[in-house]
Structure 1
Protein backbone atom coordinates (compact mmCIF):
# COMPACT_ATOMS: atom_id res chain seq x y z
CA UNK A 1 0.00 0.00 0.00
CA UNK A 2 2.86 2.35 -0.64
CA UNK A 3 0.77 4.46 -3.02
CA UNK A 4 -2.64 5.95 -2.55
CA UNK A 5 -5.24 4.78 -4.98
CA UNK A 6 -5.01 8.40 -6.22
CA UNK A 7 -1.57 7.71 -7.69
CA UNK A 8 -3.04 5.63 -10.52
CA UNK A 9 -2.27 7.82 -13.54
CA UNK A 10 -4.87 7.28 -16.24
CA UNK A 11 -8.11 9.21 -16.64
CA UNK A 12 -10.36 6.19 -16.04
CA UNK A 13 -8.75 5.52 -12.68
CA UNK A 14 -8.91 9.21 -11.70
CA UNK A 15 -12.66 9.20 -12.32
CA UNK A 16 -12.96 5.95 -10.37
CA UNK A 17 -10.98 7.50 -7.51
CA UNK A 18 -13.26 10.55 -7.37
CA UNK A 19 -16.26 8.24 -7.20
CA UNK A 20 -14.70 6.24 -4.35
CA UNK A 21 -13.75 9.43 -2.46
CA UNK A 22 -17.32 10.69 -2.86
CA UNK A 23 -18.74 7.36 -1.74
CA UNK A 24 -16.51 7.13 1.35
CA UNK A 25 -17.31 10.74 2.30
CA UNK A 26 -21.01 9.97 1.90
CA UNK A 27 -20.70 6.87 4.09
CA UNK A 28 -18.97 8.90 6.82
CA UNK A 29 -21.74 11.51 6.55
CA UNK A 30 -24.44 8.83 6.80
CA UNK A 31 -22.91 6.88 9.72
CA UNK A 32 -21.53 9.76 11.83
CA UNK A 33 -24.86 11.34 12.88
CA UNK A 34 -26.02 8.13 14.53
CA UNK A 35 -24.78 8.48 18.07
CA UNK A 36 -25.63 7.56 21.62
CA UNK A 37 -25.46 10.28 24.25
CA UNK A 38 -23.65 9.48 27.46
CA UNK A 39 -25.17 11.12 30.55
CA UNK A 40 -21.84 12.07 32.13
CA UNK A 41 -20.31 13.55 28.96
CA UNK A 42 -21.09 16.04 26.20
CA UNK A 43 -19.25 13.66 23.86
CA UNK A 44 -21.57 10.98 22.40
CA UNK A 45 -20.66 7.47 21.33
CA UNK A 46 -20.45 7.24 17.55
CA UNK A 47 -18.90 5.21 14.76
CA UNK A 48 -17.25 8.22 13.10
CA UNK A 49 -13.72 7.22 14.04
CA UNK A 50 -14.39 3.64 12.87
CA UNK A 51 -15.51 4.96 9.48
CA UNK A 52 -12.36 7.08 9.30
CA UNK A 53 -10.23 4.00 10.08
CA UNK A 54 -11.93 2.16 7.22
CA UNK A 55 -11.68 5.14 4.88
CA UNK A 56 -7.92 5.33 5.44
CA UNK A 57 -7.53 1.65 4.61
CA UNK A 58 -9.63 1.97 1.46
CA UNK A 59 -8.24 5.26 0.12
CA UNK A 60 -4.82 5.85 1.62
CA UNK A 61 -3.50 8.89 3.45
CA UNK A 62 -4.19 11.80 1.09
CA UNK A 63 -7.62 10.83 -0.16
CA UNK A 64 -8.80 9.77 3.30
CA UNK A 65 -7.64 13.06 4.84
CA UNK A 66 -9.47 14.84 2.03
CA UNK A 67 -12.64 12.85 2.88
CA UNK A 68 -12.40 13.89 6.52
CA UNK A 69 -11.88 17.54 5.60
CA UNK A 70 -14.81 17.36 3.18
CA UNK A 71 -16.95 15.79 5.92
CA UNK A 72 -16.02 18.65 8.27
CA UNK A 73 -16.78 21.27 5.61
CA UNK A 74 -20.17 19.71 4.89
CA UNK A 75 -20.95 19.76 8.60
CA UNK A 76 -19.64 23.30 9.04
CA UNK A 77 -21.95 24.64 6.33
CA UNK A 78 -24.90 23.17 8.19
CA UNK A 79 -25.56 19.72 6.81
CA UNK A 80 -26.63 17.42 9.67
CA UNK A 81 -23.64 15.10 9.41
CA UNK A 82 -22.25 15.48 12.93
CA UNK A 83 -23.42 13.49 15.96
CA UNK A 84 -27.13 13.56 16.70
CA UNK A 85 -27.81 14.87 13.19
CA UNK A 86 -26.32 18.27 13.93
CA UNK A 87 -24.28 20.61 11.79
CA UNK A 88 -23.00 24.16 11.57
CA UNK A 89 -19.99 26.10 12.74
CA UNK A 90 -21.43 26.06 16.29
CA UNK A 91 -20.81 22.33 16.45
CA UNK A 92 -17.16 22.80 15.49
CA UNK A 93 -16.87 25.58 18.05
CA UNK A 94 -18.70 23.55 20.72
CA UNK A 95 -17.41 21.01 23.23
CA UNK A 96 -16.81 18.27 20.65
CA UNK A 97 -15.10 20.51 18.08
CA UNK A 98 -11.60 19.47 19.10
CA UNK A 99 -12.42 15.81 18.50
CA UNK A 100 -13.87 16.66 15.09
CA UNK A 101 -10.72 18.55 14.06
CA UNK A 102 -8.64 15.74 15.58
CA UNK A 103 -10.14 13.36 13.01
CA UNK A 104 -7.91 14.99 10.37
CA UNK A 105 -4.81 14.03 12.36
CA UNK A 106 -6.22 10.57 12.96
CA UNK A 107 -6.47 10.02 9.18
CA UNK A 108 -3.00 11.44 8.54
CA UNK A 109 -1.25 9.43 11.24
CA UNK A 110 -3.00 6.15 10.51
CA UNK A 111 -2.44 6.66 6.79
CA UNK A 112 1.25 7.36 7.31
CA UNK A 113 1.70 4.13 9.28
CA UNK A 114 -0.18 2.11 6.70
CA UNK A 115 1.90 3.63 3.92
CA UNK A 116 5.26 3.22 5.67
CA UNK A 117 4.60 -0.29 6.98
CA UNK A 118 2.52 -1.73 4.16
CA UNK A 119 0.83 -4.97 5.09
CA UNK A 120 1.95 -4.86 8.72
CA UNK A 121 -1.19 -5.20 10.86
CA UNK A 122 0.59 -4.27 14.08
CA UNK A 123 1.94 -1.06 12.56
CA UNK A 124 -1.53 -0.21 11.26
CA UNK A 125 -2.95 -0.76 14.74
CA UNK A 126 -0.19 1.40 16.23
CA UNK A 127 -1.04 4.10 13.67
CA UNK A 128 -4.71 3.99 14.68
CA UNK A 129 -3.78 4.15 18.37
CA UNK A 130 -1.42 7.08 17.86
CA UNK A 131 -3.95 8.82 15.60
CA UNK A 132 -6.67 8.40 18.22
CA UNK A 133 -4.27 9.64 20.90
CA UNK A 134 -3.68 12.88 18.98
CA UNK A 135 -7.43 13.16 18.36
CA UNK A 136 -8.03 12.65 22.09
CA UNK A 137 -5.47 15.32 22.97
CA UNK A 138 -7.05 17.90 20.65
CA UNK A 139 -10.53 16.98 21.79
CA UNK A 140 -9.73 16.92 25.49
CA UNK A 141 -7.87 20.23 25.41
CA UNK A 142 -10.77 21.87 23.57
CA UNK A 143 -13.34 20.25 25.87
CA UNK A 144 -11.43 21.47 28.96
CA UNK A 145 -11.35 25.00 27.58
CA UNK A 146 -15.05 24.91 26.63
CA UNK A 147 -16.16 23.60 30.01
CA UNK A 148 -13.66 25.64 32.04
CA UNK A 149 -12.24 22.59 33.75
CA UNK A 150 -8.90 20.83 33.99
CA UNK A 151 -7.48 18.64 31.27
CA UNK A 152 -7.65 15.69 33.67
CA UNK A 153 -11.35 16.28 34.42
CA UNK A 154 -12.06 16.51 30.69
CA UNK A 155 -10.05 13.36 30.06
CA UNK A 156 -12.27 11.54 32.56
CA UNK A 157 -15.47 12.48 30.70
CA UNK A 158 -14.21 12.82 27.12
CA UNK A 159 -11.85 9.89 26.70
CA UNK A 160 -11.86 7.25 29.44
CA UNK A 161 -15.45 6.04 28.87
CA UNK A 162 -14.68 5.56 25.18
CA UNK A 163 -11.45 3.56 25.37
CA UNK A 164 -13.00 0.05 25.34
CA UNK A 165 -15.24 0.87 22.38
CA UNK A 166 -12.43 2.54 20.49
CA UNK A 167 -10.20 -0.49 21.10
CA UNK A 168 -12.91 -2.71 19.60
CA UNK A 169 -13.23 -0.36 16.61
CA UNK A 170 -9.47 -0.49 16.03
CA UNK A 171 -9.47 -4.30 16.07
CA UNK A 172 -12.49 -4.46 13.76
CA UNK A 173 -10.89 -1.96 11.36
CA UNK A 174 -7.59 -3.90 11.37
CA UNK A 175 -9.51 -7.01 10.34
CA UNK A 176 -11.97 -5.50 7.86
CA UNK A 177 -9.89 -2.64 6.43
CA UNK A 178 -7.37 -4.64 4.38
CA UNK A 179 -10.16 -6.86 3.01
CA UNK A 180 -12.25 -3.85 2.00
CA UNK A 181 -9.23 -2.21 0.37
CA UNK A 182 -8.56 -5.37 -1.66
CA UNK A 183 -12.19 -5.49 -2.74
CA UNK A 184 -12.19 -1.83 -3.82
CA UNK A 185 -8.91 -2.19 -5.71
CA UNK A 186 -10.35 -5.18 -7.59
CA UNK A 187 -13.51 -3.37 -8.72
Structure 2
Protein backbone atom coordinates (compact mmCIF):
# COMPACT_ATOMS: atom_id res chain seq x y z
CA UNK A 1 0.00 0.00 0.00
CA UNK A 2 2.71 2.47 1.04
CA UNK A 3 4.72 1.67 -2.10
CA UNK A 4 1.67 2.31 -4.28
CA UNK A 5 1.03 5.70 -2.68
CA UNK A 6 4.67 6.66 -3.11
CA UNK A 7 4.71 5.68 -6.80
CA UNK A 8 1.42 7.46 -7.49
CA UNK A 9 2.81 10.64 -5.92
CA UNK A 10 6.11 10.22 -7.77
CA UNK A 11 4.39 9.91 -11.13
CA UNK A 12 2.13 12.89 -10.39
CA UNK A 13 5.34 14.81 -9.75
CA UNK A 14 6.80 13.48 -13.01
CA UNK A 15 3.88 14.94 -14.96
CA UNK A 16 4.44 18.28 -13.19
CA UNK A 17 8.17 18.26 -13.95
CA UNK A 18 7.49 17.50 -17.62
CA UNK A 19 5.45 20.71 -17.62
CA UNK A 20 8.71 22.61 -17.13
CA UNK A 21 9.88 21.58 -20.60
CA UNK A 22 9.21 24.71 -22.68
CA UNK A 23 5.93 24.51 -24.56
CA UNK A 24 5.31 25.42 -28.17
CA UNK A 25 1.85 26.87 -28.83
CA UNK A 26 0.40 26.26 -32.27
CA UNK A 27 -2.19 28.41 -34.04
CA UNK A 28 -5.02 26.35 -32.54
CA UNK A 29 -4.11 27.65 -29.09
CA UNK A 30 -3.19 24.18 -27.83
CA UNK A 31 0.39 23.94 -26.56
CA UNK A 32 2.75 21.10 -27.47
CA UNK A 33 4.00 19.88 -24.11
CA UNK A 34 5.85 16.92 -22.65
CA UNK A 35 3.14 16.32 -20.04
CA UNK A 36 1.24 13.85 -22.19
CA UNK A 37 4.42 11.72 -22.14
CA UNK A 38 4.07 11.65 -18.35
CA UNK A 39 0.45 10.54 -18.70
CA UNK A 40 1.52 7.74 -21.05
CA UNK A 41 4.25 6.64 -18.63
CA UNK A 42 1.74 6.55 -15.78
CA UNK A 43 -0.19 3.92 -17.70
CA UNK A 44 2.74 1.92 -19.09
CA UNK A 45 4.64 1.74 -15.79
CA UNK A 46 2.00 1.91 -13.05
CA UNK A 47 -0.85 0.19 -14.88
CA UNK A 48 -4.43 1.27 -15.37
CA UNK A 49 -5.65 1.96 -11.84
CA UNK A 50 -2.49 3.39 -10.31
CA UNK A 51 -1.69 5.35 -13.48
CA UNK A 52 -5.12 6.97 -13.52
CA UNK A 53 -4.81 7.75 -9.79
CA UNK A 54 -1.44 9.46 -10.37
CA UNK A 55 -3.01 11.65 -13.05
CA UNK A 56 -6.03 12.41 -10.86
CA UNK A 57 -3.70 13.46 -8.02
CA UNK A 58 -1.87 15.75 -10.45
CA UNK A 59 -5.17 17.25 -11.63
CA UNK A 60 -6.44 17.79 -8.09
CA UNK A 61 -3.31 19.84 -7.40
CA UNK A 62 -3.83 21.77 -10.65
CA UNK A 63 -7.49 22.48 -9.85
CA UNK A 64 -6.49 23.66 -6.37
CA UNK A 65 -4.49 26.36 -8.10
CA UNK A 66 -0.94 25.07 -8.26
CA UNK A 67 0.64 26.21 -11.55
CA UNK A 68 1.66 22.71 -12.64
CA UNK A 69 0.36 22.65 -16.18
CA UNK A 70 2.77 23.61 -18.90
CA UNK A 71 3.20 27.36 -19.08
CA UNK A 72 2.55 27.74 -15.34
CA UNK A 73 -1.20 27.31 -15.62
CA UNK A 74 -3.34 26.10 -12.76
CA UNK A 75 -6.72 26.52 -11.15
CA UNK A 76 -10.18 25.46 -12.19
CA UNK A 77 -10.05 28.11 -14.93
CA UNK A 78 -7.97 25.75 -17.10
CA UNK A 79 -11.28 24.09 -17.91
CA UNK A 80 -12.41 27.27 -19.68
CA UNK A 81 -9.75 27.14 -22.40
CA UNK A 82 -9.29 25.12 -25.58
CA UNK A 83 -7.16 22.54 -23.74
CA UNK A 84 -9.99 21.58 -21.36
CA UNK A 85 -10.74 18.35 -23.22
CA UNK A 86 -7.14 17.24 -22.94
CA UNK A 87 -7.02 18.01 -19.22
CA UNK A 88 -10.23 16.03 -18.63
CA UNK A 89 -8.95 13.21 -20.84
CA UNK A 90 -5.62 12.75 -19.04
CA UNK A 91 -6.83 10.14 -16.49
CA UNK A 92 -8.72 8.21 -19.17
CA UNK A 93 -5.62 8.19 -21.37
CA UNK A 94 -3.52 6.73 -18.53
CA UNK A 95 -6.26 4.20 -17.75
CA UNK A 96 -6.52 2.89 -21.32
CA UNK A 97 -2.74 2.87 -21.77
CA UNK A 98 -2.38 0.86 -18.59
CA UNK A 99 -5.16 -1.56 -19.51
CA UNK A 100 -3.48 -2.42 -22.80
CA UNK A 101 -0.12 -3.07 -21.12
CA UNK A 102 -1.72 -5.10 -18.33
CA UNK A 103 -3.94 -7.25 -20.53
CA UNK A 104 -1.66 -7.81 -23.53
CA UNK A 105 0.85 -10.00 -21.72
CA UNK A 106 1.67 -12.11 -24.78
CA UNK A 107 3.35 -9.12 -26.43
CA UNK A 108 6.79 -7.84 -25.44
CA UNK A 109 6.64 -4.95 -22.96
CA UNK A 110 7.91 -2.48 -25.57
CA UNK A 111 5.21 -3.43 -28.09
CA UNK A 112 2.38 -3.44 -25.53
CA UNK A 113 3.61 -0.08 -24.19
CA UNK A 114 3.84 1.47 -27.66
CA UNK A 115 0.38 0.27 -28.69
CA UNK A 116 -1.07 1.19 -25.28
CA UNK A 117 0.41 4.68 -25.50
CA UNK A 118 -1.02 5.12 -29.00
CA UNK A 119 -4.49 3.95 -27.96
CA UNK A 120 -4.57 5.82 -24.65
CA UNK A 121 -2.20 8.71 -25.18
CA UNK A 122 -3.29 9.56 -28.71
CA UNK A 123 -6.66 8.01 -29.62
CA UNK A 124 -8.41 8.50 -26.26
CA UNK A 125 -6.69 11.79 -25.43
CA UNK A 126 -7.38 13.24 -28.89
CA UNK A 127 -11.00 12.12 -28.57
CA UNK A 128 -11.41 14.23 -25.46
CA UNK A 129 -9.29 17.02 -26.92
CA UNK A 130 -11.26 17.23 -30.16
CA UNK A 131 -14.57 17.43 -28.31
CA UNK A 132 -13.19 20.06 -25.93
CA UNK A 133 -11.76 22.17 -28.73
CA UNK A 134 -14.96 21.92 -30.76
CA UNK A 135 -17.01 23.13 -27.78
CA UNK A 136 -14.61 25.89 -26.69
CA UNK A 137 -13.75 27.20 -30.17
CA UNK A 138 -17.18 26.79 -31.77
CA UNK A 139 -15.88 24.37 -34.40
CA UNK A 140 -17.29 21.15 -35.81
CA UNK A 141 -15.64 17.92 -34.71
CA UNK A 142 -13.84 17.49 -38.09
CA UNK A 143 -12.61 21.11 -37.96
CA UNK A 144 -11.30 20.62 -34.43
CA UNK A 145 -9.67 17.31 -35.40
CA UNK A 146 -7.95 19.01 -38.32
CA UNK A 147 -6.45 21.56 -35.91
CA UNK A 148 -4.74 18.73 -34.05
CA UNK A 149 -3.02 17.05 -37.01
CA UNK A 150 0.26 19.00 -36.48
CA UNK A 151 0.55 17.31 -33.06
CA UNK A 152 0.53 13.73 -34.36
CA UNK A 153 4.23 13.46 -35.23
CA UNK A 154 5.30 14.72 -31.81
CA UNK A 155 2.83 12.49 -30.03
CA UNK A 156 4.01 9.44 -31.97
CA UNK A 157 7.53 10.31 -30.84
CA UNK A 158 6.26 10.47 -27.24
CA UNK A 159 4.69 7.00 -27.58
CA UNK A 160 8.04 5.63 -28.77
CA UNK A 161 9.82 7.28 -25.84
CA UNK A 162 7.26 5.85 -23.40
CA UNK A 163 7.76 2.37 -24.87
CA UNK A 164 11.57 2.65 -24.68
CA UNK A 165 11.54 3.94 -21.09
CA UNK A 166 9.10 1.22 -20.04
CA UNK A 167 11.17 -1.46 -21.77
CA UNK A 168 14.30 -0.12 -20.06
CA UNK A 169 12.61 -0.28 -16.65
CA UNK A 170 11.43 -3.82 -17.37
CA UNK A 171 15.02 -4.88 -18.08
CA UNK A 172 16.77 -3.00 -15.28
CA UNK A 173 14.15 -3.13 -12.50
CA UNK A 174 11.36 -5.52 -13.48
CA UNK A 175 9.72 -5.20 -10.04
CA UNK A 176 8.99 -1.51 -10.65
CA UNK A 177 6.85 -2.26 -13.68
CA UNK A 178 3.51 -2.54 -11.87
CA UNK A 179 1.60 -2.74 -15.14
CA UNK A 180 3.00 -6.25 -15.61
CA UNK A 181 3.00 -7.48 -11.99
User: TM-score when scaled to structure 1?
Assistant: 0.84
Offset, 1:33: 4.6
Paired residue for 2:119, among 107, 123, 130? 130
Q: Which moved more, 1:63-72 or 1:145-154?
A: 145-154
Cα distance in 2, alignment partners of residues 101 and 154 from structure 1: 16
Query: Over aligned residue pairs, what C-alpha RMSD do you find?
Result: 1.8
The answer to whether structure 1 residue 104 and structure 2 residue 91 are counterparts is yes
Structure 1: stretches of 5+ with no match in the other structure: 1-13
Distance in 2 separating the partners of 1:30 and 1:80:
11
Q: Is residue 175 of structure 1 aligned with residue 175 of structure 2?
A: no
Task: Tell me the distance in 1 between the aligned counterparts of 2:10 and 2:174.
Answer: 11
The answer to whether residue 181 in structure 2 is matched with residue 153 in structure 1 is no
Is 1:42 the counterpart of 2:4? The answer is no
For 2:78, the equivalent position in structure 1 comes to 91
Q: Is the 8 A contact 2:101 2:112 kept in 1?
A: yes
Change (3 A) 1:57 1:115: same
In the alignment, which of 128, 151, 162 is matched to residue 151 of structure 2?
162
Give the TM-score normalised by structure 2.
Answer: 0.86
Whichever of the two has the greater Rg, that structure is 1
User: C-alpha separation between the residues in 1 aligned to 2:80 and 2:133?
Assistant: 10
Q: Which runs of 5+ in 2 are unaligned?
A: 177-181
CA deviations on 1:160-180 (whole Å, 9 max, x unpaired) are 011001111111111111322
How many residue pairs match? The answer is 172
- Kindly state the Cα deviation for residue 184 of structure 1 after the two structures are TM-superposed: 6.9
4+ residue runs of structure 1 moved beyond 6 angstroms? Answer: none
What is the deviation of 1:92? 2.1
Q: Greater shift after overlay, 136-145 or 171-180?
A: 171-180
Q: Which residue of 2 aligns with 1:8?
A: none
| Pairing of 1:2-151 with structure 2 (within 5 A) | 14-118=1-105, 119-120=107-108, 121-131=110-120, 132-151=122-141
Q: What's the CA shift string for 1:8-36, capped at 9, x where partnerless?
A: xxxxxx22222222111111112125342
1:6: which partner in 2?
Answer: none
